[in-house]
Chain A
Amino acid sequence: MAKMTRGTAVLLGVGLAAGAGVAGAQTLNLYTARHYDSDEQLYSAFEDRTGVEVNVLQGDSDQLIERIEREGEASPADVFMTVDAARLRRAEEADILAPVESEVLVERIPSELRHPDDLWFGLSERVRIVYYDTEVYDEPPLERYEELADPRFEGEICIRSSNNDYNQSLVASLIEANGVEATEQWAEGLVDNMARTPQGGDTDQIRAVAAGECSIGVGNHYYWVRLALSDDPADQAVADRVGMIFPNQDGRGTHRNIGGAAMVAGAPHPEAAREFLEFLVSDEAQKLFSAGNNEFPAVEGVDPVAVLEPYVDYTLDDLNVAVLGENNAEAVRLMDRAGWR
């Protein structure tokens, strides 16, 4: 017992010293679910411009939300940043966000990428696309997400588990477009078409397509970009062999999700938080922010990384991303019922 208090006293001391730093005037405390090494550049660019130092706490979105909630009024969090619309929605439901009034943000970010009452703002876009094996299909084998459930693809499709946020958001968008009943039938059809038990991450699906384990895969676009830009020739070969389909071009557009940020309610440094958010929509920051994970910048007119330029004019589903969060729980249940692991 005595040892424990001594031990914790040491750690507590360290914590207090850090706490004092956190409480200083020229700081911004960021809770983020993004973890790209290039984000460091973003923070130092902000520091250079404003003199405000950025303290970072990285973690899983849901757990960061839980933590902010528990820290309550005493929370040091100024800005919360995450990579999935449903998580922003969850933060909103947990009452931990505060609106930011800023003409800059409203002007720069398209309305479907931000919260109707300015509770959060989308900063980059990612699309969930379909991959196919070019050695099996000369032409793209399908044009719409709905076709993934078509019996003609029996035993051909690789997709990851329904535990995954991105699949949950995709299904949430399908619920909005086609209703619960039709989407459940679709999920059942998709489960029948699966080449294997859902496993691994998005990159694993792309690799499985390139290895011939399945001829069609589903994954976010940037995992392909990462393979294409890799130094490893084997990765490049994977990227070369698979083709990409941006589904539903003739209809509502390809499903998109966002990386976004919000000010935390009761933020100790609300001015710095607003400045930081406004900085994130500047041309300079948008480039860094989107390049960190090869995403599409949310602000129009800012170019994505070169390899994505051919795709900037594709039609994306202009459903307000807030809806993805609203339908999330229903989507999970629906996938459970369909037996989607």
Chain B
Amino acid sequence: MAVSAHSLPLFTRMALAARRAGLWPLMMAVIALFVALPVLTVLGHVFVPAPEIWSHLASTVLPRYLVNTAGLALGVGIGVLVMGVGTAWLVVMCRFPGQRIFEWALLLPLAVPTYVIAYAYTDFLQFSGPLQTLLRDTFGWGTGDYWFPPVRSLGGAIVLLSLVLYPYVYLLTRAAFLEQSVCVLEVGRTLGRGPWKLFGTIAVPLARPAIAGGAALALMETLNEFGAVQFFAVDTFTTGIYRTWFGLGERTAAAQLAGVLLLFVLVLLLLERVSRGKAQFFHTSSRYRELPQYELAGLRRWLAVIGCGLPVVLGFLIPAVLLLEMSLTAGDQQFGWSFLPYVFNSISLSTIAALAAVGLAVLLSYGVRLAPSPLTQAAVRVSAMGYAIPGAVIAVGILIPLGWMDQQLYALLRGEFGWNVGLLLTGTGFALVYAYLVRFLAVSYNAVQASLTKVTPSMDAASRTLGKTAGGTLRRVHAPIMRGSLLGAGILVFVDVMKELPATIILRPFDFTTLAVRSYELASDERLSQSSTASLAIVLVGIVPVMLLSRAMRRSRPGYSEPGG
């Protein structure tokens, strides 16, 4: 937890100073503007009328985009909730064979990018793939003699996307279950609630902000998905944006489509908020002990094993084995020392972006808590929007303002000093890290925010009454409680940046290749088996932080005691 522990003193001082001067709202507005600038740049096109192209879209492709996007969001939403909440409850509250292993293994699919699971499965399952060929050869079937679920379809996309996106829900929900005080659950039991009722009436409602946060992440990831859905032959809003922008050359209409997508997301978020109503969930007791677990017996044990095992096997093991097999038989011919820079680039970019995203998320969520006002609320909403916007659109949204600033800088430095510094912003890693912040601030913010609701306002009040400043409260009271979530937020961003593709491709500096870029270059050239080496490397590099995350989460639970120490 070097991340926040190291940075907090500095941060605390800033917080303190800002609080004194009443600068929180102002600072938050500045951050929000900074992060929202690219999105706003794109949305600036929304008000330019483009009626002719819209009537073309509406009468041809738009209905399909709408139906597919809604279907995909609904399907993936249900899929990630069932898998994520169900497995989280099982591993936290029940005892069954392999439970300790599932605790961390359930996170593994997080390391598999959506496009990689798409590459692995479609190749394997399609008509001309090895499985169906084997079936035909074995049974002597011909075309049309048998039915096999088409993997390149809306259904295929829903299943495979759910399999790699449910860990967002699992991660946040499990953390929330672990942070729940044992008292509430015991009161529930005393009052005669069985495990199902306990789950449905106490644990889930209490964990609701976390569940909603996880589901929102999974859904936004789904909505801006490009490579995978393209592969599944499903046209969504996002593929429509690309096509309208680049195929039809209609920049304005594309930005307007992005605006519609954004509206879709805002409505989703709003629905969740409205349905939660005025209810606010805080824990009022702080007695933490080892949670009492249900010992599962008989058939139930094995159902639990299967329930937790399936997502891991389907979402991680099988794709990893398929990739391994491909890379051993026909992998990347350039594999070797030349791969090291790709790994280094991926890791260093991800680390920097993760630190930055967590730092900003803490600032923002703390700001909302300290100075709740329409302005700060709006600032946060606006700065988390980027997650729902396709990466390539964000990249262009960044190129427009940064490109302009670069021109000014270039002209200034050249004119005044005769320096030719090239492109200071768009030609360097700055634009990339900026893009990741815009894209992934919502990830870190949701995690930090969900965990901050676990700190009751009465704790704040007590701390302040006892003479601690706002900054002191953050450091002494909030930070210890939130440690696990902060680390979790950082690692989520880390893994997301590892997997990110469209923005990285557009904004990267010269001769700068990451693992994801290498994998994409080969795959887009229809050399899938060669791209498997880089894909596998992404998964392997991603596993390490995911394991760390799982360990840290367990320890971070208040009341956790190290075995034997």
Do chains A and B stick together as partners?
yes
List chain A positions with a Cβ less than 8 A from chain B. Answer: 1-4, 7-8, 10-12, 14-16, 18-19, 22-23, 29, 35-37, 55-60, 62-63, 66-67, 70-76, 90, 161, 163, 168, 197-204, 207-208, 210-213, 223, 231-232, 328-329, 332-333, 336-337, 339, 341
Assuming the contacts A19-B428, A71-B406, asked whether A2 and B423 have C-beta atoms less than 8 A apart, the reply is no
Q: Is B427 an interface residue (CB 8 A)?
A: yes
Q: Is the interface of B mostly helix, strand, loop or mixed?
A: helix
Which residue, of A3, A14, A72, A73, has the highest number of chain B Cβ atoms within 10 A? Answer: A3
Assuming the contacts A7-B355, A18-B510, asked whether A76 and B424 have C-beta atoms less than 8 A apart, the reply is no
Assuming the contacts A71-B406, A199-B233, asked whether A19 and B427 have C-beta atoms less than 8 A apart, the reply is yes
Total interface residues on B, CB under 8 Å, equals: 84
| Bound-state Cα–Cα, A268 to B242, Å | 31
Query: Which B residues are CB-close (under 8 A) to A67?
Result: 399, 426, 506-507
Q: How far is the CB of B147 from chain A (nearest CB, A)?
A: 14
Query: Which B residues are CB-close (under 8 A) to A201?
Result: 526
Judge whether B420 and A23 touch: CB under 8 Å: yes
Judge whether B422 and A22 touch: CB under 8 Å: yes
Query: Which B residues are CB-close (under 8 A) to A168?
Result: 247
Assuming the contacts A63-B392, A198-B233, A199-B233, asked whether A8 and B249 have C-beta atoms less than 8 A apart, the reply is no
Q: How far is the CB of A256 from chain B (nearest CB, A)?
A: 19
Closest to B419 in A: A23
Query: Which B residues are CB-close (under 8 A) to A63?
Result: 392, 395-396, 505-506
Contact for A73 among B330, B359, B407, CB less than 8 A: B407
Closest to A203 in B: B526
Q: Is B295 an interface residue (CB 8 A)?
A: no
Which residues, 400 to 455 on B, are CB-close (under 8 Å) to A? 400, 402-404, 406-407, 410-411, 420-424, 426-430, 432-433, 437
Q: Is B235 an interface residue (CB 8 A)?
A: yes
Q: Is B85 an interface residue (CB 8 A)?
A: no
Q: Is B284 an interface residue (CB 8 A)?
A: no
Query: Which A residues are CB-close (under 8 A) to B399?
Result: 66-67, 70
| Bound-state Cα–Cα, A231 to B330, Å | 9
Query: Which A residues are CB-close (under 8 A) to B363?
Result: 1
Q: Is B174 an interface residue (CB 8 A)?
A: no
| Bound-state Cα–Cα, A199 to B525, Å | 15
Query: Which B residues are CB-close (under 8 A) to A37?
Result: 333-334
| Bound-state Cα–Cα, A14 to B510, Å | 11
Closest to B522 in A: A35
Assuming the contacts A36-B525, A163-B247, asked whether A197 and B233 have C-beta atoms less than 8 A apart, the reply is yes
Query: Which A residues are CB-close (under 8 A) to B355?
Result: 3-4, 7
Judge whether A76 and B423 touch: CB under 8 Å: yes
| Bound-state Cα–Cα, A163 to B510, Å | 28
Judge whether B330 and A19 touch: CB under 8 Å: no
| Bound-state Cα–Cα, A62 to B244, Å | 12
Judge whether B421 and A16 touch: CB under 8 Å: yes
Contact for A10 among B152, B352, B392, B427, CB less than 8 A: B352
